[in-house]
Amino acid sequence: MNDTPSSEAPDGVLRPFEAREVPPLPPIEPSKVIPDPPPSEASAVTEAGPAPTTETVEASEQPAVPPPPPALDDIWAPETTAVDPAAPTIEQPAIDPSVAPEPEPVGEAPAPDEAAVVEESGDSDGGEPPVATPDAPPDALAPMIEAPANETITMNRTAFLTGLGVLVLAVVALAFLWRSADSDGDSLTVAREVPTSAPVGDGPGDPTPPTAPGVDTAATDAEIADLNSALALTQAEVAGLQSEVDELRSRPAPALPGERLRRIVVSADAKFVSAQPESIAVVGAFGGVTLINPATNQVVANSNVANAATRVLRTPTSVWLTNYADNQILQIDPGTNTVATVIPFPGPDGIDKDGGTLIVASFDGGFVARVDPGSGEVVQRVDVGGSPTAILSSPDHGLWATVFDTGELVQIDRDSFEITQRVLVGAGPVGIGLDATHLWVANNDEGTIAKVDPSTGEVVMTVVVGAEPTELVSVEGSVWVTVTGDGNLVQVDAASGEIITRTPLGGASAGGGPTGIAVGSGAIWVAMQGEQSVVRIDL
């Protein structure tokens, strides 16, 4: 072992912070021990590790007592610093005399080879840092043993366990306080707003909504009861109004006031009627023809020119009628009240004018024809596949004919005179009319009228009007229908299909009733079959 002091300390050797200068120590070799100092100056300590040459202290003479932790002033200096020799030394804490001998008086520092031996920990994984023995003088703290490179300085085990226990107790106390605050009845409650549209507590098992602190539940229940009572009253009023509406709808439609009706008696039977500003032409089932002046409601002409007349058409210069029994189309001069032209035509029924020609339906022949009134020739014709009845010619919507036995409304092209559309409207169509945008068809066999879109051929509405509707006209948003089997004149709202008025005109009990209808001179004209009269309804 080299006992000669060296001028420089080796790397890795720590030195205590001393009040005065300490001579440098020689390097310590791991395989050797420091020589023992004289017994009178320092206590013998053992070097860590298996060193058989090291002298240990007898247990009977001086029991090993772990020293107290060093004071804050005994912090190890991280680097070698020259210490003033004149500075006072640092005193060690007092040791109990019962367990350790009295410390030596502080005197001059011994030679480097007489310094106290510091015990090095033998733990391979760190351990506690090296400390001076209790009986060593303060000056003997200078020599230090070189620590292994992987050795770490640890804190006192007792202090660490004590702090850990305090920390665990603090965490447990905080958790207990938090749970106590969560279950406290006086803790803050956040009320969640429940939408008014969502029912609460209606069914079994539905939770009762929480009540916020300070809310008067009795007052809230009273308000809810008042609202429920008001709601019940409102529902009762609505039910009462609905009952009244149902009762009004169940009642028959009102009749037209009597002051709007005028009955005009004619000498012959009346079945169909046609209107022009100059006169109203009426034809009877047995061929009687009557002309009425609309300005005075007076009959101005009577004649009997046919055996079984069906339809009548009043033009500005003529009166045209179809004589079904005699297979004829007749032209009557209204000025002379005589027959001007007779045109042979098989089973004629409906008739209308299209420009300078006539469009006539042959009920028996199953076709529709265009007839030249001057020559009486059929210039165009088209088979419709059934028995055509009514004819309508419109500058905007073309030519249309009803087919009685097929229940169809057919459209005929003016130029080619071919069928371009077929619309199924109902059973037994016999009458046809037109408003601003739609066609209306009277279905005699099923007691309905049908509203048809002429551009698409779609039936947009069907209205039940009564037994045996025959003809109809459209006036100012209303459709007026003669219901022959019931003896009524029915007014229907063209937009909604609701019946506005239902006016009894009579004649049904005697096998007659209202049949033909026309509009002109500010009035509606209705032919009363079986009563020899025409009814005028002022608009």
| DSSP per-residue string spanning 225-258 | HHHHHHHHHHHHHHHHHHHHHHHHHHSPPPPPPG
- Provide the percentage of residues in the chain whose pLDDT is more than 70: 62
Torsion, Cα 189 193 199 202, to 10 degrees, reads 10
What is the reported pLDDT for 164? 75
**pLDDT for 137-178, tens place per residue?**
444 444 444 444 444 455 566 666 777 777 878 777 777 776
* Mean pLDDT along residues 258-287: 92
What is the reported pLDDT for 342? 96
Instruction: Tell me the CA distances in angstroms from 166 to 156, 157, 161, 175, one per residue in order.
Output: 16, 14, 9, 14
For each of the domains in the chain, give its residue range(s) and CATH number, in order of start.
Answer: 1-159 (no CATH), 258-538 (2.130.10.10)
Q: Is the pLDDT of residue 244 over 50?
A: yes
What is the reported pLDDT for 364? 95
Residue 361 DSSP symbol: E
What is the reported pLDDT for 340? 94
Write the CB contacts of 133 (distance below 8 Å, at least 6 apart in sequence). Answer: 42, 43, 45, 67, 116, 118, 119
d(CA 172, CA 158): 21
Q: Is the pLDDT of residue 94 over 80?
A: no
What is the reported pLDDT for 208? 53
Q: Which amino acid is at 170?
A: A
What is the reported pLDDT for 447? 97
Instruction: Tell me the CA distances in angstroms from 427 to 54, 404, 415, one per residue in order.
Output: 135, 7, 29
**In which residue are the tokens 């209705």 written?**
526
What is the reported pLDDT for 117? 38
What's the pLDDT band for 12 if we cut at 50, 70, 90?
very low
Torsion, Cα 426 431 437 438, to 10 degrees, reads 0
- Provide the percentage of residues in the chain whose pLDDT is more than 90: 48
d(CA 518, CA 507): 19
**pLDDT for 350-372, tens place per residue?**
999 999 999 999 999 999 999 99
Q: Which amino acid is at 204?
A: P
Write the CB contacts of 131 (distance below 8 Å, at least 6 apart in sequence). Answer: 67, 70, 118, 119
What is the reported pLDDT for 115? 38
Token pair, residue 157, equals: 């085990």
Instruction: Tell me the CA distances in angstroms from 400 to 160, 324, 415, one per residue in order.
Output: 111, 20, 14
Token pair, residue 349, equals: 């029924």
d(CA 55, CA 411): 137
What is the reported pLDDT for 222? 87
Its pTM surpasses 0.95: no
What is the reported pLDDT for 520? 95
Q: Is the pLDDT of residue 309 over 50?
A: yes
| Range of lowest pLDDT (13-27, 188-202, 211-225, 493-507) | 188-202
What's the pLDDT band for 110 if we cut at 50, 70, 90?
very low
Rg (CA), the chain: 65
d(CA 34, CA 113): 8
Closest by alpha carbon to 433, among 314, 517, 361? 517
Residue 265 phi, psi (nearest 5): -85, 135
